[in-house]
Amino acid sequence: MSDASAPIDVNADLTLTIDSEPIAIESYTDTVLVDFPSVRALARVVRTERGRLQSLDRVLAETDLTVAVLVDGIAVGTLGARARPQSERLPVEVDAVGTLRAAVAAPLRFFS
């Protein structure tokens, strides 16, 4: 068995529920779309799982997978093979314009 992981494609169409918040996960290629219902739901998951992001990013890069993070259909970040993070501490490429659009599109869901 080789030390390097082979690139893979993911086929998925599922909903994960965390704290009664439905998170849609869909993929038919090497890009996995993870769509959170609100900025608040995304922030909650990032807050609790932040310590695992480096490991997740490493596995995604090794398998040539990318996770596109969306909030209610609006792209807010990228993690993995095609991400270009702005910081060593947070391995996520943040789309500032998308994040602002997502926060403005549903302000009550963000602040509630």
**Run means of pLDDT, 10 residues per run, the chain, 112 residues:** 66 93 95 94 90 92 95 96 88 93 72 48
Give residue limits of the domains in the chain.
12-111
Residue 70 is predicted with a pLDDT of 97
Amino acid type, 36? F
Residue 1 is predicted with a pLDDT of 42
Summary count for the chain: helices (H), strands (E) = 4, 6
How far is it, in rounded angstroms, from Cα 112 to Cα 93? 26
**Alpha carbon 84 to its chain's center:** 13
Pure H helices in 8-85: 39-49, 53-62
Residue 90 is predicted with a pLDDT of 84
Look at residues 41, 47, 30, 44 and name the one whose alpha carbon lies nearest to residue 83: 30
Strands 66-71, 31-36: pairing kind: parallel
